[in-house]
Amino acid sequence: MMNPQSMMQLLGAIGTFRSSHPKFASFLELMLKSGIPEDTVIEISVTRPGEETVTANMKVTKSDLELFSALRDLRP
């Protein structure tokens, strides 16, 4: 179990992330609210200045869905 101070720090960090990246945070919230079924593929690309784009993906598993649910319950 997470101690209260750590939970408050995590909630603060989530708030800062949402403020810094409102479109991305809204996209994540929409995807989580609308449901991400098992076997959905999530893909992300990262392009660093002056470098090639690197892309990775994952297939959502039952344990991933459990984690997403736990994270959703933490939001303010």
State pTM to two decimals: 0.57
Answer yes or no: do 23 and 40 share one domain.
no
Which positions of the chain have pLDDT values less than 70?
1-2, 75-76
Answer yes or no: do 1 and 21 share one domain.
yes
Place of tokens 């809204």: 26
Distance CA 14, CA 72 (A): 11
Distance CA 64, CA 70 (A): 10
Please state the domain count of the chain.
2
Distance CA 46, CA 3 (A): 33
Distance CA 24, CA 46 (A): 14
* pLDDT tens, residue by residue, 19-35: 999 999 898 888 878 88
Q: Residue 3 forms beta bridges with which residues?
A: none
Answer yes or no: do 30 and 47 share one domain.
no
What's the domain range around 53?
36-69
